[in-house]
Structure 1
Amino acid sequence: MATIMNLPEEVIYIILGYNDISIEDIINFRCVCKNFQHVVNYKFMEKKLLQRWPTAKKLYNKKNEQKNKGSSNFIKIGMNWTRQLRNSMPQKIQEYYKRDIAIDNSPHYTYMFQLDKDTSVSYPYDKYMDDIKMSFYIDEIKNLLPEFSRKTVYDLTEKYYYVQLFNCLRSYMWNIKFRKFIKQPHKVQLLERSATFMAQDLQPQKEVFYSSVTAILDGMALEALNSLREKHPDHSIFSTSEKNFSYWKKNNIDDNHWDEAEGTQIMNTLVEYIFGKLNFRPNKVENIDWNTQLKYKCIDNVLEHKYGQEIIIYIIYHSVARRLGLRCDIVIGYPGTNICLFWKPRYDTNSSKDVRCFRINFEKFPDCFIKYCFTKLEIIEAKKMKDILSAMIQYNENLWILDFFDSPIGYDYNWDVNLKDWSTILERIRPYCNFNISIEKFERLNARSEDIKFAVGMIVTHNYQSVDCPTGVIIGWHRYKHRKFVKISGEDRRSSNCFLAKICSDMKKQTHYIILTENNEMCYVGEDALTLTTPKWIENSEMGRYFNKFEGTHYVPNKALEKCYPHDAAVTAAVTARKTISENLYYKFKHKLV
């Protein structure tokens, strides 16, 4: 078996050239011995950097296609901006430590990074460079995040803010692209493209490719065409040119390309294929968590699972029908403001004869439609479709039309009302609002006394009306007498990024704690329901906002949280150390008895 020392350099180049081999891996490889240093030359490192910044490179080439600028200038710019990103991030985090209240989950990172004019690189500044700079940041952070995971010890807060910045930049980029999209002629503003923009915006860390969505829709159209051939082999569509199919795929069409009989045959075939053979079904669960909402309301997930929000299934049906030369609109029907699927034989007339309008039922094919009658309709186009999808991600079906949607929602509660009643209220209106628990005026709370059993950073379980007793870490507490400084508030879910809160306590005269749990929730728990438990890593998306690192026995608060509870870190370290010593002695004693 040949060792790596005996491999030809060409083979080593191929191995090191894989995309999953990082620059850090290359540097480590060069440091193994002097014989490997000459293998990795400047040109090879240049190739790895081009792999590292693919989005930025694509945009850079597009912006400079008329200019004579090579990859060396691109790498020089990229290295400068990457250095700026890494050097500036700790400073930005410190700035947000000063203004961020640790137990308040309101959004705070949207303008974390300003894309200022950079004069340290020799190129003429223009309006396009901000886009390229953001692309560099996106590519660089995307590569940084796995590097955090490979490290045995890393700063949780630093990673957290990198994730928030990455999500923010990706969302911003997709919205820029969407604004360009809706400025295009109406005929190319396709509904599936609008739905894909929404899926990309809502899943910033997932690569959602429009090409993948269109490929699936193309395949569905081809399968539907094969089904049509089996039942209606003489249909005119089989003599249609590829040019027409290509046009229907890329453009909205103004009218049906078939007479009433042939149009009806295509519609019936589509219904049987999509709702019968593929078994697409609308989601009928309303009060669901955020991750499940993404699964049901993003077009890439609905195409994969064949189950999701009704309006997404309409978009899929509409997109496949258009590829077959059939105009089939998604409309808002009045009265009732219901979203439904609308078709008529000819759109160049005002005749309502043979019009079909239906909504998807929860029954199986062929009983999967409810016929709908209306006195007025409004056709949903791409821009409005994105607005509706954005609203319906936050709300349940059709709530986007309500008047209160135009203004933020706020709910404050009286702590002296039984918390059980409030827990019920929150569960009922959770689909429409994000709820946040915050503790105000920390200067009145941070003086500890012996009656406070737990401290920030301790790992606990709570057994409040729960069988599985979720494990979590404490991020805040208050005495009963300070309950007036506790606030539970709700915000319009379209604009809020609050972490969902859950009340797990009765109203008792005891200390209350806020914990982040392993099932990615924030819980508000009374002291009598908490138990110190075996230390473990807590997988929660907000962990880095409060803690710098995991010590194996407890979490260490970052500066913002430590400022709120200055005495807790020492208490946590002492208590967990005593618990560890006791457990070790117990196991040693048990082993001796055995």
Structure 2
Amino acid sequence: MTSSLISTVTMSAAGIESLPNEILEAIVTNKCLTAVDLCRLSCTAKRFQLLIAGNGELWRRKFVHQWPLLWRNGLTRRLLSQVTDWQGLVADRYACGRHVQQEVAKLADSHYFDEELSNESFKAFVDYQYELTTDDNHRQNRCPELTTDLIHLFQMDELECLLRNGSERKNLTIKYYALKVLRFLRHELLRRQWLDYLANDSGHQSVDDFFNGALMISSWFQMNRSIDEEHYRRQVELIAQLTIDELAVNYPSNAIVHQNAAKCLPDSEAQQLTESKWSAKDCRQIMQSLNEVMFNQLHFMTNDDDYYEMNNSFMDQVIDRRLGIPITYCILYHTICAKLGVKTFGVNFPHHFILKWKQYNDDESHDSYRWIYIDVYNGGQQLTSRSPLLANHSDEDIDRVGVCSLRDVFCRMCRNLVEIGRQQEISSDGLICLRNALELLCILSPEENESQLLLSRVYLHLNINLELVNDMLAKISERDPNSIGVVMFLRQSVTSQLSAKRNTSANNNNNRKSAVKHRNVNNDIKYAIGMIMLHKKYNYRCVIYGWDSKCAASRDWIYQMGVYRLPNKDKQPFYNVLVDDGSTRYAAQENLEPCGQSDEIKHLEIGKYFQEFAETHYIPNEQKAGEYPDDDETLILMLRESL
């Protein structure tokens, strides 16, 4: 449609030039015309050039039309509020997109043999941010308001465009590396936001502190999900307003109904709340109505069946699915209560996060009943001293727990996610969850040795960020001299792996040539890479991404896995497979058979080895096809036989 419109305009330029300006502006502002189309159109006639060049409002609209998700980002809009050269900014966004595409395409070839990408792998993206804003040669012809933060957001937006581009089944390798880069860039942006956020922590709680922080945790862990803060704020507002509607029916004399015109508190007031705005009676009615709305009408439920599912810790998922765990429910409840004029406080109770609400002021003579404890996870139940959760604790013990800071709350959330990651460590999802949680913990609690030691082990396992590991270990030994033994052991591992990396880098080309495997010298190989298989014994679905003519595992592994109990023992082909549960396994040929169910395999590493899912099998990318150059013919023959 665009090309035909352009050709029509070009062919009849003389007639169009006679049209009024408002009609021409309607044409050029049409969404079907891209910024590139405008540049071409401006070359067809002088009047078009005068209309298009330097038309700030026109180029602003094109920016919004072309990159709508970028425009909806609140941070982007704040950074763009002072922009004057919109045409230059559009050009900068295009240039940034081209650079991102080029650099992502390079990663597949340069990092195919790496188990994971180190921070240094993303140097080209970081350098680009600073070159455009500090180098005078690059500053020429750039939008004067272009900043490092804007370029950072442009890069992230282009990566999200790559991830959304076309079918989910195609361009898998580009999407695999785009997600890696997006994770790094988003974490860099969030790292700065977390440091600013924690620097402003004065020890008291506010609705913005907890809700913003909870959404920042969601963004930190969910790389392929763009979280719209304003959307979830509207959801909170909606629940609060439904609560007021419930109050108006059952408690029409409640203060928020008749004193506040049945409206929520504005964010500015809710954020500054230090104590409840209403009487104890009104607050109790508000919380009773909130319980009715949340748990009976909107059906927020406890997720006891899958308590340790990681989505229970992400505020956006909790609101969307209406499933959660105590700490996320408490943050949501606390946020809504503040919008309703009720001030609650988080209590870091052992094994169960709860809230407390001050029923009586300090000068009132109700010491034993001053605080009411609320178990949000159990329907907002108000606890008594005889409640099972409190029964084994004295009033003094409960009071000593005290109110927790926002740092305490988010550290607890991260530790929950560390445990979830450790429980699922066999899968790629579990390992990335563990790594994300530990990296965030190191920001939230930089003096905590245990999390940094565990993160060091994760980096060593992945063979990444080894220089950073050395720095972390040095700081750990300074803070805790008793840890010298484990620190020395890990430092020896770092030295060994750094040396191996240097040797590998020096002989990189030879290593790649030696990885090629031909079928004509491995006649026992029955299956090919890209085939979707079923394990006969354990009934899992998987895709083959490598093979050995004989079992290449260590003797210890062979004995541990009972390979000698197989009829053909270890003297048969073994296959590297990506399993649908997110794990990576090594399976004997006699235990595998082609799978009749040809659905996609859900595994984070699929894109590292395959470029496309072709309904019945996966097509290897250039690097994997070069490693197994003969497998495509075998794959085609086997697919024909199955048909």
Q: Do both share a fold (TM > 0.5)?
A: yes
- Is 2:399 the counterpart of 1:380? no
Per the alignment, residue 70 of structure 1 pairs with: 85
1:327-360 CA-to-partner distances (Å, cap 9, x unmatched) read 2112112xx3532222222465694424322435
Per the alignment, residue 239 of structure 2 pairs with: 220
C-alpha contact 2:325 2:377 (8 A) present in aligned 1: no
Q: Distance in 1 between matches of 2:420 and 2:622?
A: 39
1:125/1:184 CA distance change after superposition, 3 Å? farther
Deviation at residue 484 of structure 1 after TM alignment: 1.2
- Is 2:606 the counterpart of 1:543? yes
Per the alignment, residue 638 of structure 2 pairs with: 579
Deviation at residue 474 of structure 1 after TM alignment: 0.7
Per the alignment, residue 181 of structure 1 pairs with: 197
Q: Distance in 1 between matches of 2:30 and 2:565?
A: 58
Deviation at residue 215 of structure 1 after TM alignment: 1.4
Q: Distance in 1 between matches of 2:279 and 2:61?
A: 57
- Is 2:359 the counterpart of 1:340? no
Per the alignment, residue 484 of structure 2 pairs with: none
1:9-50 CA-to-partner distances (Å, cap 9, x unmatched) read 99999799676x6959969x99xxx99xx9997777885445
Return the letter of the residue paired with 1:115: V
- Is 2:469 the counterpart of 1:453? no
Q: Distance in 2 between matches of 1:478 and 1:398?
A: 30
C-alpha contact 2:534 2:592 (8 A) present in aligned 1: yes
Per the alignment, residue 285 of structure 2 pairs with: 265
Deviation at residue 201 of structure 1 after TM alignment: 2.5
Per the alignment, residue 512 of structure 1 pairs with: 574
Q: Distance in 2 between matches of 1:473 and 1:547?
A: 10
1:381-427 CA-to-partner distances (Å, cap 9, x unmatched) read 333333332332343599999996563287999xxxxxxxxxxxxxx
Return the letter of the residue paired with 2:535: H
Q: TM-score, normalising length from structure 2?
A: 0.65
Q: Distance in 2 between matches of 1:282 and 1:352?
A: 30
- Is 2:369 the counterpart of 1:327? no
- Is 2:543 the counterpart of 1:473? yes
Q: Distance in 2 between matches of 1:454 and 1:530?
A: 9
Per the alignment, residue 191 of structure 1 pairs with: 210
C-alpha contact 1:546 1:560 (8 A) present in aligned 2: yes
Per the alignment, residue 569 of structure 1 pairs with: 629
Deviation at residue 76 of structure 1 after TM alignment: 3.3
Structure 2 matches for 1:490-509, cutoff 5 A?
508=566, 509=569
Q: Distance in 2 between matches of 1:274 and 1:208?
A: 22
C-alpha contact 1:344 1:352 (8 A) present in aligned 2: no
Q: Secondary structure at the match of 1:182?
A: helix
Q: Secondary structure at the match of 2:587?
A: strand
Deviation at residue 545 of structure 1 after TM alignment: 0.5
1:129/1:247 CA distance change after superposition, 3 Å? closer
Q: Secondary structure at the match of 2:291?
A: helix
C-alpha contact 1:310 1:360 (8 A) present in aligned 2: yes
1:238/1:60 CA distance change after superposition, 3 Å? closer
Q: % of aligned pairs identical?
A: 16
* Residue from 547, 550, 553 that aligns with 1:483: 553
Q: Distance in 1 between matches of 2:551 and 2:78?
A: 62
* Residue from 150, 169, 173 that aligns with 1:132: 150
C-alpha contact 1:321 1:327 (8 A) present in aligned 2: yes
Q: Distance in 2 between matches of 1:385 and 1:367?
A: 21
Q: Distance in 1 between matches of 2:557 and 2:66?
A: 45
* Residue from 244, 248, 253 that aligns with 1:234: 253
Structure 2 matches for 1:90-169, cutoff 5 A?
90-97=105-112, 100-101=113-114, 104=115, 106=116, 108=118, 111-112=121-122, 113-116=124-127, 117-118=130-131, 119=135, 120-122=137-139, 129-149=147-167, 155-169=171-185
Q: Distance in 1 between matches of 2:81 and 2:233?
A: 28
Task: Give the unaligned 5+ runs of structure 1.
Answer: 414-439, 489-502, 585-594
Deviation at residue 559 of structure 1 after TM alignment: 5.5
Deviation at residue 160 of structure 1 after TM alignment: 1.8
Deviation at residue 538 of structure 1 after TM alignment: 3.2
1:451/1:580 CA distance change after superposition, 3 Å? closer
Q: Distance in 2 between matches of 1:456 and 1:12?
A: 56
Q: TM-score, normalising length from structure 1?
A: 0.70
C-alpha contact 1:52 1:140 (8 A) present in aligned 2: no
* Residue from 275, 278, 282 that aligns with 2:302: 282
Q: What CA RMSD, in Å, does the superposition of the two structures yield over aligned residues?
A: 5.0
Identify the range of structure 1 (255-264 vs 190-199) with the bigger mean alpha-carbon deviation: 255-264
Deviation at residue 235 of structure 1 after TM alignment: 2.7
Deviation at residue 251 of structure 1 after TM alignment: 0.7
C-alpha contact 2:599 2:616 (8 A) present in aligned 1: no
Return the letter of the residue paired with 1:136: F
C-alpha contact 2:270 2:341 (8 A) present in aligned 1: no
1:229-278 CA-to-partner distances (Å, cap 9, x unmatched) read 33333333334347992267541522223333333333333333323333
Q: Distance in 2 between matches of 1:569 and 1:459?
A: 19
Identify the range of structure 1 (515-524 vs 188-197) with the bigger mean alpha-carbon deviation: 515-524
Per the alignment, residue 419 of structure 1 pairs with: none
- Is 2:436 the counterpart of 1:393? no
1:17/1:287 CA distance change after superposition, 3 Å? farther
Deviation at residue 176 of structure 1 after TM alignment: 2.8
Larger RCO (CA under 8 A, 6+ residues apart): 1
C-alpha contact 1:115 1:130 (8 A) present in aligned 2: no
Q: Distance in 1 between matches of 2:556 and 2:353?
A: 41
C-alpha contact 1:282 1:313 (8 A) present in aligned 2: no
Total equivalences in the alignment: 514
Q: Distance in 2 between matches of 1:109 and 1:312?
A: 31
- Is 2:332 the counterpart of 1:316? yes
Q: Secondary structure at the match of 2:248?
A: helix
1:362/1:270 CA distance change after superposition, 3 Å? closer
1:558/1:110 CA distance change after superposition, 3 Å? farther
Per the alignment, residue 273 of structure 2 pairs with: 253
Deviation at residue 515 of structure 1 after TM alignment: 1.8
Q: Distance in 1 between matches of 2:176 and 2:523?
A: 33
Q: Distance in 2 between matches of 1:79 and 1:574?
A: 41
Return the letter of the residue paired with 1:90: A
1:286/1:536 CA distance change after superposition, 3 Å? closer
Per the alignment, residue 51 of structure 1 pairs with: 65
Q: Distance in 2 between matches of 1:407 and 1:192?
A: 30
Q: Distance in 2 between matches of 1:181 and 1:274?
A: 29
